Structure 1
Amino acid sequence: MNKRNPNAVLDVKEVPKWNQWIILSIQHLFAMFGATILVPMLVGLEPAVALLSSGLGTLAYLIITRGQIPAYLGSSFAFIVPIITAKELDGPESVMIGCFVAGLVYGIVALLLKALGTGWLFTVLPPVVVGPIIMVIGLSLAPTAVDMAMYQTVDNEKFYSLESVVVALITLTVTIIASIFLKGFLKLIPVLIGVVCGYVVAYFFGLVNLEPVKEADWLALPNLLVPYVTYTPDFSWTVVWLIAPVAFVTLAEHTGHQMVLSKVIDRNLIQKPGLHRSVFGDGIATMIGSAIGGPPLTTYGENIGVLAITRVFSVFVIGGAAVAAILFSTIGKVSALISSIPTAVMGGVSILLFGIIASSGLRMLIENKVDFSQQRNLIIASVILVIGIGGAFIQIGDFTLSGMALATLAGILLNLILPGRTKVDPEEMFQTEN
């Protein structure tokens, strides 16, 4: 049994007073809000559904991890490019099937972690493989961010817009200033601050249409995509192979978050409740999201940051944030207001966010002291980057393996085949007192 963390204001299993509970939970809601709604807006899904799935997924995660991991789950950026590509190929319904299979991949990995321990995962996905793949995620999205910042679309025709460029630059500038100069909790929500300021500027430039907000009902259920209720699933191996392998990238991200969170709350979460249970919870949450039309979910670094600053580690606070997200998803005017955000505003914040994703891959390589004077490391990173960013693909009949999935497979195989591989010991990557 874990001892109480003496540095905690509220420890993991402690229940706050009701008035504190509401405020602390809303704080976590704001921390994840900007990034969670950005993903569905970029891929053409409904933001309200993403909020609903994040709330339901987080509650399921807390139950599966036995209330021992105070983690919030929001929309995953890693799946943006595969989802956009899959939608163009086969529509949103097939995308949901691909996302569901990604959740199944988590479940299979969880069973393997339970049976074999964690060592094999770090052998298959060491930093020299995961770092470049994360860089591919960010750099592949660069054209999307720039297009959103520079162009407007009217009657299916895209044209350059100086107003969009100005709005995007102001949004980007405010987001950067907020992330660098603000303190405390405000420092954790630079995306939300940037979007709000950009929205106000865009309104004065005439880029905001508030009519749908005025016409929307206060109470309105999100437009769910439920298999055999709103659509008949159409299984596509091409879509599955586009989306499902990305789970291996987010698995590495998930493991990293568990290590950081272990340090923050001073408990070894890899051992108790175990990485297998955490991964399984993430997989179930992703399957819940895909079953109602939401994007895949992942643990959120923004909310880990809130834990670190406030030292409030209570899972009840996280659960309260999940309930708040579910309630927000049913407010029609909120959904309409989110949908009215101009693409130029999202383009401005995306320039920074996608660049940060790419840079975080580089940071992983640096922090893990990956030696690029070794030829094997140089080869692995180079092949992953060119295949992933270049859009290489293999097609055999109706089967296609492309982009990030192909880059991930190539990196894993090269790492296992090339000589000189060093063993990664996860136990040495973090230490806790308990």
Structure 2
Amino acid sequence: MSAFSAVEVIRTKRDGGVLSDGQIDWVVDAYTRGQVADEQMSALAMAILLRGMSPAEIARWTAAMIASGERLDLSGVRRPTVDKHSTGGVGDKITLPLTPLVAACGAAVPQLSGRGLGHTGGTLDKLESIPGWRAALTNDEFIGQLQETGAVICAAGDHLAPADRKLYALRDVTGTVEAIPLIASSIMSKKIAEGTGALVLDVKVGSGAFMKSTDDARELARTMVDLGTAHGVRTVALLTEMSTPLGLAVGNAVEVTESVEVLAGGGPADVVRLTLALAREMLDAAGLPDVDPEPALRDGRAMDAWRAMVRAQGGDPDAPLPVAAETELVRADRDGYVAAVDAYGIGVAAWRLGAGRARKEDAVSPGAGVLLHKRPGDRVRAGEVLYELRADAPSRIPAARTAAEVAVTIADAAPVAPPLVIERIG
């Protein structure tokens, strides 16, 4: 008979107590093996949301999640390894140009990514709009590609932190997604288990982000940096602005197209700036602080690394990308300046158009999305196009138009642009 019970663990946290190492190890393991029921883990997750966890509890919970599965060994990779994780946003295609850019500068990037849910896009959904590209790799394929090209973006394997996979799905349907201890342990258990030597976190702040306030984002970032450091992974975090979508494209294929523009030396200024800021942090964390990533965008090295990465995963980097069947242009009804483009509203519009999913099992439309023609601060004349809506079915457009209309504000004066990078932690 076990020395612990689920009810005892729930009561301890419900009453504001501190869970012991033994309690944490047992409940995570028992839940992974199906000995603790979903309803019991749901109660514990709610207790954690309401009561919080001490740093020692979070560290032990994360270690137990890692121990629930396998850990990859990247010690045989010749280059220094460094990964990046974003907490998710609207138009956040940064992983696509960033991974090959950092690889082109001499590091190896083992990027395990996910799919979109709700108004935030998923990196794997974007890449799957490339004909032939596949997200699922075996461990041997993952490590082999990392050795060969220095860049991998793929789905996490089933045996990597399986406790997190179960708990993540449960949190999504029990109103406990916002619990910072559970967010931090979810992200860091997978990143530590993948075996990377260094990690840069992009913690988004604003209306289109998971964390709406700088204080909450700072707490999450500090928690994750401490977890990574405690496990021997050099970890740093940037708090970055997510009240306005990144770039001009929000969707799947449209974001791939914009990413390729960045790799070709062009693209929207904010996407380029954030890509370079994160690349510099990653190279520094990997022990390559003197390497400047900017020339690699201009001289074609980053593009070469992108093409090699896409081909290695079965994709055709030269193939035409999907295009939605229906397009609607939305025009300004007055002169002025674009005062705001709310990231949440545009994210919801893209989701309504078919670029996102309401449930994990839903399919996404590769060609659907929103293309912005104007950003905050741009001058606009009545009749000029503000944005375009793309969908495969005309029935999707009205709801998307409603969401986007309230997201774009025109005023008599240009707004003051907020900083893209708010703060560095680590």
Q: Could you state the TM-score of these two structures normalised by the residue count of structure 1?
A: 0.24
Higher helix content, 1 or 2 = 1
Choose between structure 1 and 2 for higher RCO, CA contacts under 8 A separated by at least 6 residues.
Answer: 1
Higher strand content, 1 or 2 = 2
